[in-house]
Structure formats: structure tokens, C-alpha cells
A and B are shown apart, each in its own frame.
Chain A
């Protein structure tokens, strides 16, 4: 695992330092996809293998409405590639999105949950779409092929060259290609009528979170240096083009993201990413993003599970607030009941468990709660 991690890191670093390869003609529209070269065909076959691998892994988010919404935003940005560029949301808390050479774009749920509006979602999609349209996968492949020493190096540490398709997509392309994707993406944002000022905001949020959590994953949208580059790059683009106002799409985004944000919190909690949940929910922006009772309840859960000094008290306060703002949300009663039960305060836990079962008679954990109620 460590060897593979080192290998990936070295690949990312090596690719990051590579100069942009020779000119490659971008796709002008979907019809050109049928006439790709043999070299590109091979790349597409490998990309389809990555598609199949992701599909098999069962990670595709199962909410067709959300999938269609994200696709629809992409289609507005790249209308001439409708049907060719396919976006799929992945149920992963890692803040990332990536494009494969065949037009498959993957957007992680965690990143979707962090954006505030459609313009911010469109910023990331426009950037990823540019990687496909400008054939950055092909350009990267040519760089790799031309560097024999690099190829030998990767062979030694056990990363097959075919895997590089996924690796370079997930961890980012060279600095020049990323800047090119910024510029093309920016133009697409403007053309689709989005407020370009939101482009900087999304990267600023991600940068702040990556810094606060000291994220070590070198994936593109979680890496401090790469996010800093995006902020600088989009700021320069705004400076040159002027701050044209446009569509933000806040309400429609909020509406589609309600379940996404909750699923993302639950995934974070199930993967012990308590720090991340606390950071997200204690942020003032969470007031808008979550229903108050959800915000307090999940904050309580994060403190309870983190279980550091003082966390039990923080969790108790959060659960109480959740009940205060909404007295018919059953999980808050259960959670507070468990907290008191652990402190052996059964006189307090009992009425809470009873209320929980009254509100949720078919709860999946009914057997546990009944067991706790029957405890002497």
C-alpha cells in the first residue's frame, strides 16, 4: 500500500512537472468522436475499463434526479457534446471530480455537498469538460510515452501504464493543462450565463477546508497547492474579462442537494471523518445548507463518535438543540437516550427511548432500544 502510494505520488509529481506536449486538435463536436485516431481509440478502451471498474464497485450514487440535474448543467456548458460527455455522481466523501479521455466525468458526492449553488457546480464541470474537449488525456499519454525513464520507473514500483489513465485524471494533469482547462472552463461558464465570481468562491471554500483538515490526499480538488493555483488562475481570468454578472442558481441547487448533503454527512460519519463533519456543520454556511434539526443532530453524532474530552457534553447540547427546534425528529431522542444510558442515568434515558419508539415504531434498531428499556 505504501509502495503504491509512493508510486502514485511520484507519478503525480513527475507529471506535474512535465511540460505541455505537442499540439493536439480539440474536439469541435460529438460527431468527431466517431473519427478518433488509433492512439485515441486505445485510450478510450482503457477509459472504458475504468468506467466498468467504477460501475462494478457499486459507488455510483443512486439518485436519478440528482444524476440528471448534474448532467443537465453539463449539457448547458457543452451543448455540442450532449450525449458524449456523461457525468456520474460517485458516493464518495473525498472532495474530487475527474474526467476520463472518453468523456466520462466523475463527480464525488462530497464535492457536490460543499458547493453552494449551480454556478459553483458549473465551475468544476466546465473545468473537467475542458480536459475532455481538449484531449488532455491524450496529451498526457504522449508525455508519458516520451519519457522512457519515467515509464521504467513506474514499471519498477508496479504501476502498470494503463492505470495512468485513471491516475492522471484523478490526481490532476500538468500545470499547463490545468490552466488551459481553467481558461476554457471559464469561457464556457460565461457563455452559459453563470456568474463567474462564484468560480473563485468554490475553490476558496475547498482550499479553506483542505487547509483546516490538513488533507493529505493528493487528489486534485483536495490538494492545497492545486486549489491555490485555481484561485489565482480564476482571479486572473476575472480580472482580464471583467466581473460580468450572471446566473447563480442557488434555489434550484439547494433543492437538489438536500439529500446529497445528508448522505454526504452520513458517509463521512460512517468513515470516521468526524473532523470533517464538525468543520462543515460548525461553519456559518451550514445554517443555509442544512435544516437546523439535522445540523444539530449530526453535529451531536460527530462529537459522540469522536469521543474526545468534552465531546459528550458538546453532543448532549447539540441533541438538546435538535429536539428544541424540532420535537418530532426521532433520532435525536435515541441519541440523547444513549448518551444518558452510558452515563448510567437511566431515569433520563428511559423517557427518551420511549419517545423514540413512539415516533419511530418500526425503527430498525427497535430491538436494541427495547433491550435498553428493559435494563434494570
Chain B
């Protein structure tokens, strides 16, 4: 019986240890995206979620508080949750429309309001910059800034999200710096 308990404890420790390893502190500011498709500078000391292998996901205080996310999707999978695809010739306005629809479709999201929606240049390509306010299922007000653009390879999105109270403004400039540093490093870059 004792042996079973010991084995169970060991197994639990092993699982927990593996769980800890999926979060890693950022020590080097230059971070590569999945498949080295892009690169961006992120703040040293923030934590990166290793489990999110299809994107770069970092946070300072936990993803429930704030996060910065950078990802690339193929055109086919760009908005798979909306059953929508992107194309290389899509206008920034059209991409922003899809980004708004995607935010609205998230579970628990309500009262979404567009604060600002304008064209923006990301890694030398024209895309959109979207700033929205919304509430979660607990009624907490939070904000998100989303950048997006398309190229021949797919759709790129950078997103920052945090509660309106205290957190959003605090880390917004960090995100904007990350967007400025974003560059494509894949074959087409």
C-alpha cells in the first residue's frame, strides 16, 4: 500500500515538474515565432507559455491579467473559429472586420466597443490596428489592441489584452514596442 502511495506521489511530482517547465522566463529579448516565421522583441522578465507552440504568448502577471500574443496562420486557418479564410489581396478594412467578429464571438465577451480602428504598418506591410473595449462574463471591463496583416503566406496577428483598470495602460507601450520590433524572418522575409 505504501509503495502505491509513494509511486503516486512520484508520478504527481513528475507531472507537476513537467507542468512548471512549460512556463519559461524570457532572458533574451529577441524571441522567435513558431517555425521561425517571425521575430520580435519582448520584455525580459516576462513569462512565455511553452505549451502554446503555434504562437508566442507572454505575460507579466498571468494570462488572466495581461498577455501579448504573436502568431501566424495560413490563410485557410486564419479565422477558422469563424469559418472564414483570408487571402493575400484582402484589404486592411476587411481584415479588421474579421478581427472584430472574432473578438465578439469569444465566449463570455459582451459590450464590445471599437475605440479606434485604423490602418497601420507592421513589418513594412499595411494592415490594421484595432483598439476595443469589452466585458467578460464576470462583468470585468478589459481592453485589447490587435494588429493584423496578410502576405502571400498567411495572416499575422499581434494582440495585447488586459483589464482596463490599472493594467491596460501600464503595459500598452511595451506591446507597441514589440509591434515595432516585429519582423518576418521566414523564407519570404
Contacts and interface: CB of A to CB of B under 8 A. Distances in A.
Given A57-B137, A371-B126, A365 B101 contact: no
A169 B89 CA distance: 46
A367 interface: yes
A342 interface: yes
B137 A368 contact: no
A270 interface: yes
Interface residues of A, number: 17
Interface string A110-154: 000000000000000000000000000000000000000000000
Contacts of B91: 338, 341-342, 372
Interface in A338-376: 338, 341-342, 364-365, 367-368, 371-372
A58 B111 contact: yes
A50 to B, nearest CB: 14
Given A56-B139, A364-B114, A364-B117, A271 B105 contact: yes
Contacts of B92: 368, 371
Contacts of B93: 338, 365, 368
Contact of B135 (A58, A367, A371): A58
A272 B84 CA distance: 9
Given A56-B137, A58-B135, A367 B104 contact: no
Nearest to B135: A58
Nearest to A55: B139
Contacts of A270: 100-101, 104
Interface string A257-300: 00000000000001110000000000000000000000000000
A14 interface: no
B83 A272 contact: yes
Secondary structure call for the A interface: helix
A59 B109 CA distance: 10
Contacts of B104: 270-271
B123 to A, nearest CB: 17
A92 to B, nearest CB: 11
Contact of A272 (B82, B89, B114, B138): B82
Given A270-B101, A342-B89, A371 B83 contact: no
B119 A371 contact: yes
B132 to A, nearest CB: 13
B43 to A, nearest CB: 29
Nearest to B83: A272
Nearest to B89: A342
A57 B111 CA distance: 8
A368 B116 CA distance: 11
10 contacts: A57-B137, A270-B100, A270-B101, A305-B97, A338-B91, A338-B94, A364-B114, A368-B118, A371-B119, A372-B91
Given A56-B139, A305-B97, 16 more contacts: A56-B137, A57-B110, A59-B110, A270-B104, A271-B105, A272-B82, A272-B84, A272-B101, A338-B93, A341-B91, A342-B89, A365-B117, A367-B118, A367-B119, A368-B117, A368-B119
- In the A-B complex, list the 4 residue pairs whose CB atoms are closest, starting with the nearest: A58-B110, A367-B118, A58-B111, A371-B119
Interface of A: 56-59, 270-272, 305, 338, 341-342, 364-365, 367-368, 371-372
